[in-house]
């Protein structure tokens, strides 16, 4: 188990951008820990519980600005640390429990069951996605290239149909991306809006017919955000077991990351883009992207082809997420996801920690780095930003705002219409 004092210090050190009001923080806590309750007759009680939790975290040392604002990364980071240390019951009883409830619901599993995602049948989905860009600052007549994620068709997502709605811009559709050439008119906002239909299958190993040259593509020491340093190579060797199969090696490396680190949000600009795996080792924290990158680097250090994957969890409250795939001879590209850290309460629940190791549930894969990716949204993001999700009927809304002053950047809305 990682050192909790060090984790607390790192969580606070990596925050310190306190520009979000209490209302947005409560909405974040509701989605993370009281999702079902917030949508029903108990919504008032759920909001009161979330506000009480925020007060509990302040009493435990959560910093606030002089005008009572917060940094969401500090809020969730401290919640995790307090929960791991046994000082905050809400972490397991609500935060962890909500994640498990969402996974069970998507898999159709009974309450109390551990879903067997490898046996899920193909399922048809209809999904509405939109991205609204804040463009009030863009001079009329300036041309922008606005982007929004789009699913990638592969073994896990087939028969994709896309309908773009209400856009006056010239729209191009490519794997992983909808791109619109837009001429600013002086309007305060512009929206890309799409209806998607596809058949999703569980994330089992795939691509067994890929040749050796295609596989070797994913073994480089430097590849996009992957950075394989001597330190990572030494660690991978120390964590490996002589004679173990490739599959066993990946399981072993994943177990080390679950046992030795904590998972929570991190400001993206805090992590050097070319040395993300080493940053995790120095700080003891990873978010889903940084953790997956570290596992990719560790695998490549052992000669195992591996790659970073990004997409959308098709939960009742859809959310952006990252995981990885490792190439296992005789099996193909095999998914591994450190989301099990959250679901297993930091690795403590042996049954849940094995979830998403070799198979994952229904996902909307949108990125295979560094070859297929959505790219920058097309409006200036600034040096740092906050990601502020909240539940809405049938889905979720995520606002991206400047961490400096809270100014809006863009807002993503995702609704699962049928499943």
> Looking at the structure, do residues 143 and 189 belong to the same domain, yes or no?
yes
Tell me which residue range forms the domain holding 38: 1-117
- Mean predicted lDDT score pLDDT of the chain: 94
Contact 176, 374 (CB under 8 A): yes
Answer yes or no: is pLDDT of 1 > 80: no
Instruction: Look at residue 33 in the predicted model and tell me its pLDDT.
Output: 97
> Looking at the structure, do residues 132 and 93 belong to the same domain, yes or no?
no
- The residues with which 198 forms a beta bridge, in sequence order, are 125
Answer yes or no: is pLDDT of 2 > 90: no
Q: What is the per-residue pLDDT across 76-130, written as a single tens digit (0 to 9) for each?
A: 999 999 999 999 999 999 999 999 999 999 999 999 999 999 999 999 999 999 9
Closest C-alpha among 298, 125, 109, 301 to residue 196 = 125
Could you say which of 334, 361, 388 is where a domain stops?
361
Closest C-alpha among 114, 382, 331, 324 to residue 209 = 331
CA distance readout (Å), 307 to 109, 223, 325, 357, 371? 30, 9, 5, 15, 10
Closest C-alpha among 126, 120, 123, 125 to residue 204 = 120
> Looking at the structure, do residues 143 and 71 belong to the same domain, yes or no?
no
| Residue 65 tokens, joined | 């600005």
> Looking at the structure, do residues 160 and 292 belong to the same domain, yes or no?
no
| 3-state SS class at 192 | strand
Answer yes or no: is pLDDT of 383 > 90: no
> Looking at the structure, do residues 238 and 281 belong to the same domain, yes or no?
yes
Any domain includes 95: yes
Any domain includes 370: no
Answer yes or no: is pLDDT of 188 > 80: yes
Could you say which of 117, 142, 165 is where a domain stops?
117
C-beta neighbour count of 5 within 10 angstroms: 10
Q: Which residue has the tokens 């600034």?
A: 382
Q: In whole angstroms, what separates CA 374 from the centre of its chain?
A: 15
Q: Which residue has the tokens 């952006």?
A: 320
> Looking at the structure, do residues 298 and 407 belong to the same domain, yes or no?
no
> Looking at the structure, do residues 224 and 315 belong to the same domain, yes or no?
yes
Q: How far apart are CA 165 and CA 65, in angstroms?
A: 41
> Looking at the structure, do residues 337 and 282 belong to the same domain, yes or no?
yes
Q: What is the per-residue pLDDT across 34-53, written as a single tens digit (0 to 9) for each?
A: 999 999 899 999 999 999 99
> Looking at the structure, do residues 352 and 292 belong to the same domain, yes or no?
yes
Burial zone of 102 (CB within 10 Å; 0-12 exposed, 13-18 middle, 19+ buried): buried
Burial zone of 101 (CB within 10 Å; 0-12 exposed, 13-18 middle, 19+ buried): middle
DSSP for 63-114, written as a single string: ---TTS-B-HHHHHHHHHHHHHTTS-THIIIIIIHHHHHHHHHHHTPPTT--
Pairing mode, strands 222-223 and 189-200: unpaired
Any domain includes 207: no
> Looking at the structure, do residues 62 and 152 belong to the same domain, yes or no?
no
- The residues with which 386 forms a beta bridge, in sequence order, are 401
Q: How many domains does the chain have?
A: 3
Q: How far apart are CA 103 and CA 115, in angstroms?
A: 8
> Looking at the structure, do residues 224 and 354 belong to the same domain, yes or no?
yes
Radius of gyration from C-alpha coordinates of the chain: 21
Could you say which of 361, 392, 410 is where a domain stops?
361
CATH number assigned to the domain comprising residue 274: 3.10.620.30
Return the minimum-mean-pLDDT range out of 4-18, 187-201, 279-293.
4-18
Phi/psi-derived region of residue 287, left when phi > 0, alpha when psi is between -120 and 50, beta in every other case: beta
Contact 167, 147 (CB under 8 A): no
> Looking at the structure, do residues 4 and 75 belong to the same domain, yes or no?
yes
Q: What is the per-residue pLDDT across 202-254, written as a single tens digit (0 to 9) for each?
A: 999 999 888 888 899 999 998 888 888 999 999 999 999 988 999 999 999 99
CA distance readout (Å), 219 to 154, 248, 301? 21, 18, 8
Any domain includes 369: no
Burial zone of 69 (CB within 10 Å; 0-12 exposed, 13-18 middle, 19+ buried): middle
Question: Phi and psi for 301 in degrees, rounded to 5?
Answer: -65, -25
Q: How far apart are CA 175 and CA 216, in angstroms?
A: 22
Return the minimum-mean-pLDDT range out of 64-68, 94-98, 161-165, 270-274.
270-274
Q: What kind and span of H or E run contains 367? A: strand 363-368
DSSP for 136-189, written as a single string: TTSPTT-EEEEEEE-PPPBTTEEEEEEEE-S--SEEEEETTEEEEEEE--S-SE
Q: How far apart are CA 118 and CA 107, in angstroms?
A: 10
Q: How far apart are CA 386 and CA 266, in angstroms?
A: 10
Banded model confidence at residue 168, pLDDT cuts 50, 70, 90: low
Instruction: Look at residue 381 in the predicted model and tell me its pLDDT.
Output: 84
DSSP for 315-363, written as a single string: SSS-EEEEEEEEEETTTEEEEE-TTHHHHTTTTT-HHHHTTTBS-B-SE
């Amino acid at each position: 188990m990682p050192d909790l004092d060090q984790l607390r210090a790192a969580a606070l050190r990596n925050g310190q951008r306190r520009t979000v009001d209490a209302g947005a923080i409560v909405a974040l806590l509701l989605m993370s820990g009281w999702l079902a309750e917030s949508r029903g007759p108990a919504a008032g009680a759920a909001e009161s519980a979330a506000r009480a939790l925020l007060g509990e975290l302040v009493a435990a040392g959560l910093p606030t600005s002089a005008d009572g604002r917060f940094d969401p990364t500090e809020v969730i980071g401290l919640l995790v640390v307090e929960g791991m240390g046994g000082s905050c019951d809400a972490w397991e009883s609500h935060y962890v429990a909500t994640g498990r409830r969402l996974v069970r619901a998507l898999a159709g599993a009974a309450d109390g069951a551990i879903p067997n995602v490898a046996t899920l049948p193909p399922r048809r989905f209809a999904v509405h996605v939109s991205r609204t860009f804040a463009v009030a600052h863009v001079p009329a007549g300036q041309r922008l290239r606005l982007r929004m994620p789009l699913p990638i068709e592969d073994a896990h997502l087939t028969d994709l149909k896309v309908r773009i709605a209400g856009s006056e811009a010239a729209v191009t559709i490519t794997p992983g991306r909808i791109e619109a050439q837009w001429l600013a008119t002086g309007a305060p906002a512009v929206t890309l809006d799409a209806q998607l239909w596809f058949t999703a299958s569980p994330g089992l190993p795939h691509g067994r017919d890929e040749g050796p040259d295609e596989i070797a593509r994913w073994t480089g020491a430097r590849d996009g955000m992957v950075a394989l340093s001597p330190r990572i190579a030494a660690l991978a060797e120390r964590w490996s077991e002589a004679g173990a199969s490739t599959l066993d090696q990946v399981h072993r490396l994943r177990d080390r990351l679950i046992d030795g680190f904590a998972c929570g949000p991190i400001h993206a600009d805090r992590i050097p883009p070319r040395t993300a795996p080493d940053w995790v080792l120095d700080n003891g924290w990873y978010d889903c992207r940084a953790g997956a990158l570290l596992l990719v680097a560790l695998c490549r250090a052992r000669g195992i082809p591996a790659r970073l994957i990004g997409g959308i969890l098709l939960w009742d409250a859809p959310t952006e997420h990252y995981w990885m795939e490792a190439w296992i001879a005789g099996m193909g590209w095999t998914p591994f996801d450190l989301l099990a850290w959250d679901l297993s309460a930091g690795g403590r629940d042996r049954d849940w920690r094995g979830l998403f190791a070799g198979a994952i549930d229904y996902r909307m894969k949108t990125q295979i780095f560094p070859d297929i990716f959505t790219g920058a949204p097309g409006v200036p993001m600034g040096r740092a930003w906050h990601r502020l999700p909240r539940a809405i009927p049938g889905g979720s809304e995520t606002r991206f705002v400047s961490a400096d002053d809270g100014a809006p950047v863009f807002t993503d809305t995702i609704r699962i219409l049928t499943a």
